[in-house]
Amino acid sequence: MKTPLLSVKDLNIYFHSDNVQRPIHAIRDLSFSIMEGEMLGVVGESGSGKSITNLALMGLLGESAKISAMECKFNNKNLLSLTQSQWQSVRGGEIAMIFQDPMTALNPFLTVEFQLVEVILAHNSDKLNKRQAIDKALDLLNQVGISSPKERLKSYPFELSGGMAQRVMIAMAISTNPKLLIADEPTTALDVTIQKQILTLIKELQIKKNMAVILVTHDLGVVSEFSERTQVMYAGEIIESGSTHQIINHPRHPYTLGLLSSRPGAIARNAKTLLPSIGGIVPAFHQRPNGCQFNPRCQFVKADCQNHQIEFIEGSRCLYPLSVALERSST
């Protein structure tokens, strides 16, 4: 069997705060893996812990975070025991990340060329000189589909559209040929028409460069189109994972069903199944309910759902997994 590129087992993240006595248990027993060249979709409402998990994988959580795991292995390296200098080659080198808002990620006072060349020279395994780095910057802008790349190199961020700025961020991210790209809601800040173009670009680069991608989104429509496998997060836990096809068409966890039913055109083939819309909000990490984290919002809740933490078994974290067939209505 092939070894995964990234393998995470029982990842737990706690935050210490002066205001609360006990540390906040934010991420609980997260286990997942991703193979080389694979795209994994991660879905969940805002506040589910998607970004915290990504920041932990990038070694970017601050001092207040305590991270533990049975395993957190990337390309044969234990991410939890890297030294600062090892992080420098992993972060932004072997693992790259793009964020929701490209405009805030770019420095408004520096040209695209300056910022791109800076990144290229920071991880300069090919020992390029400045001139060669500028050529590479030009090539990268071509690769991410920016028209008139020569002129764009001289632009400042405010002269770029949101979509173009995200393309520049992607150019920076792929400049080191990362083995893993973490795209954390990369299109949430963009217009709908641009969203699709950016996601298509990421998909093309994934395939062309055999680069693994963790695609984080709150939209199941996005994963249904772009990722082979999907995991659904809720309140710092993975509550369902499997092939995207299975999750979209045969969800087992009531939360996944709720996410799906809030999308236009969703109907249940199983007539007995109601399609609930999810009321309420994701609980804050310091105000977790007992038992199943979803129980206060779950329309299928039973007494024992509130008794103890629910284990992840056969692809879902639910005592009473559903058997639902969904299909899209044409209207």
Contact 211, 37 (CB under 8 A): yes
* Residue 299 engages ligand ADP in binding (rule: CB under 6 A): no
- Determine which residue in the list 310, 315, 324, 326 makes contact with ligand SF4, applying CB under 6 A: 310
Q: Name, in order, each residue with C-beta under 8 angstroms of 13's C-beta and a sequence gap of 6 or more.
A: 25, 26, 27, 49, 52, 53, 56, 61, 65, 66, 67, 236
Residue spans of beta strands (DSSP E) within 35-93: 39-43, 65-68, 71-74, 77-78
What's phi and psi for 42, nearest 5 deg?
Answer: -125, 120
Q: Of 50 and 252, which CB lies nearer to Mg ion in the complex structure?
A: 50
Q: Which does 319 bind (CB under 5 to 8 A by kind): ligand SF4, ligand ADP, Mg ion, none?
A: ligand SF4
**Residues sharing a CB contact under 8 Å with residue 321, sequence separation 6 or more, in sequence order:** 252, 253, 314
Q: Residues near 145 by Cβ (< 8 Å), separated by ≥ 6?
A: 167, 197, 201
CB of 179 within 8 A of CB of 95? Answer: yes
List Cβ neighbours of 1 (8 Å cut-off, separation of 6 or more). Answer: none
Residue in 52, 168, 278, 305 binding ligand ADP, rule: CB under 6 A: 52
Q: Is 251 in the site for ligand SF4 (CB under 6 A)?
A: no
Shortest spacing between CB 251 and ligand SF4, in angstroms: 11
Long-range interactions of 151-155: CB distance < 8 A, separation 24+ = 152/112, 153/111, 153/112, 153/113, 153/116, 154/111, 154/112, 154/113, 155/111, 155/112
Whichever of 165 and 235 has its CB closer to ligand SF4, that residue is 235
Of 6, 8, 11, 26, the one binding ligand ADP (CB under 6 A) is 26
The distance of closest approach from Cβ of residue 277 to ligand SF4 in the complex, given in angstroms and rounded to an integer, is 15
Closest approach of Cβ 206 to ligand ADP, in Å? Answer: 21
Residues 276-295 that bind ligand ADP (CB under 6 A): 284-285
Give least dist CB 301 to ligand SF4, A: 4
Residue 295 binds which entry of ligand SF4, Mg ion, ligand ADP, none, CB below 5-8 Å type-dependent: ligand SF4
Residue 259, interface with ligand SF4 (CB under 6 A)?
Answer: no
13 binds ligand ADP (CB under 6 A): no
Can you tell me which of 181, 199, 232, 292 binds ligand SF4, judged by CB under 6 A? 292
Q: Is 51 in the site for Mg ion (CB under 5 A)?
A: yes
The alpha carbon of residue 145 and the mean position of all alpha carbons in its chain are separated, in whole angstroms, by 23
Q: Which stretch binds ligand ADP (CB under 6 A): 50-58, 150-158, 239-247, 294-302?
A: 50-58
Residues 6+ apart with CB under 8 A from 306: 289, 290, 291, 292, 295
CB 8 within 8 A of CB 30: yes
Give the binding range for ligand SF4 (CB under 6 A) out of 57-65, 183-191, 272-280, 295-303. Answer: 295-303
Residues interacting with ligand ADP, by CB under 6 A? 15, 17, 24, 26, 44, 46-52, 64, 284-285
Residues interacting with ligand SF4, by CB under 6 A? 253-254, 292, 294-295, 298, 300-301, 305, 310, 318-320
